[in-house]
Amino acid sequence: MQEATDYHRDSHPRKLYRLTEEGIAAPDEDWAHPQRILYPEIADMPIEDYFREKRRERKYRRPRKEEWFLRPFTAGLFIREYLMGLGPEDSPKIDPDEGDYTEHIFYYYKEALRRAYARDAVAWENERQLRKGLSPYTLEKYAERLGWHLERIPYKLHRARYHSFYRYFHYLQQLGFVEPTDREEASYIQGNYPDAPPRTYYRLSRKGKEAPEYEWFRPQLTLYPELTPQYFSEKNRERRQRATTRS
């Protein structure tokens, strides 16, 4: 990776792995279910019983509309606070006049979602402790469990793709909520494609600072107010009709 990106400071070297003696000797069933070998118990329950209980929970059936998942914070509000230099959800506090580029903002947005998920997991564990009549987590235990979850929660847990984030950011540009600064930086692909555009840093514009929070909540609807719930309902109805006709 570093060689392909001209040793960019944000890139990481590739690591080569090989089988250990333990891996060579392990039977096929251990390779088929490594999680069961690594964690024979989860939450004081045998792992098979734990999975059996989880399959009965609400998230394993199709939720009703009123149960749909909502993110702990929207991308728009995160971008707004991040570019203001407030360091939302323990992200870095940047210079608001200098701004940052979209790939960086997206990375810290995903990391913020991951930390929020880890905090929710520890809160659920703590609640379980209380239901059992046990003492709540101490600050040290809370920090230990939070670190435990963060080590195991993958970066791609939340299905927030960069393409969707880029479109979201483009709406903010169209609204005039963000503006480019004079700073640019070489992108990864310029090592092999010199004509590729560099990274552009963005900061909040005056209009973006003055805009109320509800306009940041869903910038697409701020930009296109005609896209009402009735509009999407009609589009969904037409799509279902076309699918029925084709079948």
Per-residue pLDDT of the chain (247 residues; tens, 9 = 90+): 445 445 555 656 778 889 999 888 888 878 877 877 877 877 777 878 877 777 666 554 555 554 444 566 788 889 999 999 999 988 999 999 999 999 999 999 999 988 888 888 898 888 888 888 888 889 999 999 999 988 888 877 776 788 889 999 999 999 999 999 989 887 777 667 677 788 899 999 999 999 998 888 888 888 888 888 788 788 888 888 888 887 6
pLDDT the model gives residue 109: 92
Q: Which long-range contacts (CB under 8 A, 24 or more apart) does 116-122 make?
A: 116/72, 116/73, 116/89, 117/149, 117/153, 117/157, 117/158, 118/146, 118/149, 118/150, 118/153, 119/146, 120/72, 121/149, 121/153, 122/146, 122/149
pLDDT the model gives residue 66: 47
